[in-house]
Structure 1
Amino acid sequence: MSSPPTLSIVIPAFNEGRTIHRILDRVREVALIGGLTKQVIVVDDASTDDTEAAVRRYQDAHPTFDIQYHHHRVNRGKGAALHTGIARATGDYLIIQDADLEYDPREYNDLLPPLLDGVADVVYGSRFQGSKPHRILFFWHTIGNKFLTTLSNVFNNLNLTDMETCYKLFRTELVQSLYLEEERFGFEPEVTAKVARIPGVRIYEVGISYYGRTYADGKKIGWRDGVRAIYCIVKYGIK
């Protein structure tokens, strides 16, 4: 009998020591459809708080829950942490999970069906599609997200509603086949552009909920990252 497929869950983390145990709880507790097993990969991007100690405590408290922990000696950015996690994934499918509490791991089961049914290669979780809960926060962030998504769609001939979403689910071999360069938040437009250029790729979108953080809660993205995203959309869109 063949073993069940595995979902690799890549969690980039920077200074999330206060709450990372909570997202690990949610990942551990979710029962995946289709009998999928989990491979959890935490990549600590040179945190200056007790993120490493928090993960180590969690590993000790839950010895049967397999968490692979990797540590960058120098802070390089979210994209660099994702490069590390993607390279170490061995599952059949791979999803990106931020270490904060903005996205709900229970919704893996909403994203997985198109892949498990064999109709998709990539599934994006859209915060702007469907009727799931969505915390009301910053007007200009929403406008910025929609502008970046529209610009990305123009260059990549797609009709996504949320290019900047964290929840991107891939066939692992597909995302590992890409040469990814961006080490910060430019990862999102770069991976979207490079996926869109794969011949015959099948991209789906599924509505997800969003429990957004304020800057007081620890949100890190800023206007400079938006400017970089525009640059990346153009750079990778015309390659």
Structure 2
Amino acid sequence: MPAYNAARTLERTYADIPHEFVHKIILVDDVSRDETVEIARQLGLDVIIHTQNRGYGGNQKTCYDAALAAGADIVVMLHPDYQYDATRIPALIEPIAAGRRDLMLGSRFLGDPRAGGMPIWKFVSNRALTTVENVAFGLRLSEYHTGLRAYSRRLLETVPYQLNSDDFVFDQELIAQVVAAGMAGRIGEIAVPTRYFDEASSVGFRRSVVYGLSTLRVVARYLLHRLRVRRSAKLAARRPE
């Protein structure tokens, strides 16, 4: 769990995790100003503390490094803001455990995100970006911008995620790397209900505009790489055996 000021929602998120399917829970704190670390320790989580804020992407890098070092075969990334239904984790990881997928996304758009309170501007912008990404990547996903994901060890050892942005666009760069590595057919998704409420972390409109433009740059970089116009080190991952 990449965490930043998650004290108000961490316990509820933790309580929903089906612990019989999870062997270790790692929380990486990105210099929170609240009691996130104290609560995480009380819950018995493995806590890693950044001494300086590294951003959402930088936090995930630490999460995945720690999970791989701990010997994880499947790594689930869950936002600790209680926005995503953690009880869906068993269904999320099953295709990876069965060897059919290497990346699974918990999609809000396979259900009705508006029923969970998603603001209309988020709904429209998410659908627009997803359409662009599907065309560029040759996929038919319902969503790319989710805070509940699962990765196989093989995938995380294949793509050079450490080269990615330390900001929110990290997730989109990682998906571009997966596609560039020839693993597009190994991506799947399931429906995951979400909740929007005051305590849940949410990126504001202005930051969302920046994120959207950054996502479009990721798409452009991928297309230039695929067309061999401009090669990208981030996308030069080898295809696994």
TM class by smaller structure: 0.7 to 0.9
Counterpart residue identity of residue 96, structure 1 = M
- Paired amino acid for 1:52: V
The runs of 5 or more residues in structure 2 that have no matched partner are: 226-241
CA distance in 2, matches of 1:233, 1:114: 27
More helix by percentage: 2
Q: Is the 8 A contact 2:56 2:168 kept in 1?
A: yes
Q: Tell me what 2:187 maps to.
A: 203
3-state SS of the aligned residue for 2:116?
coil
Does the alignment pair 1:55 with 2:40?
A: yes
Query: Which runs of structure 2 are paired with 1:1-239 in the superposition (5 Å)?
Result: 11-27=1-17, 29-32=18-21, 37-59=22-44, 67-89=45-67, 90-130=71-111, 134-180=115-161, 181-200=164-183, 201-214=185-198, 217-221=200-204, 222-223=207-208, 224-239=210-225
Offset at residue 109 of structure 1 (A): 1.5
Aligned residues: 216
Q: How far off is 1:213 after superposition?
A: 3.7
Kindly provide the CA deviation profile for residues 155-205 of structure 1, in whole angstroms up to 9, marking residues without a partner as x.
Answer: 211111101112221112312322121111101211111111222551112
Q: Which amino acid aligns with 2:54?
A: R
RMSD: 2.1
C-alpha distance in 1 between matches for 2:223 and 2:4: 29
Q: Is the 8 A contact 1:155 1:237 kept in 2?
A: yes
Deviation, 1:230, is 2.1
By how many angstroms is 1:57 displaced? 2.6
Q: Distance in 2 between matches of 1:217 and 1:131?
A: 18
What amino acid is aligned across from residue 190 of structure 1 in structure 2? Answer: E
Segment of structure 1 superposing worse, 229-238 or 79-88? 229-238
Query: What is the percentage of aligned positions where both structures have the same residue?
Result: 25
In structure 1, stretches of 5+ residues that fail to align are 1-10, 60-66
**How high is the TM-score relative to the length of structure 2?**
0.81
Shift of the alpha carbon at 1:153?
1.5
What TM-score results when the alignment is normalised by the length of structure 1? 0.82
SS for the counterpart of 1:38 is: coil
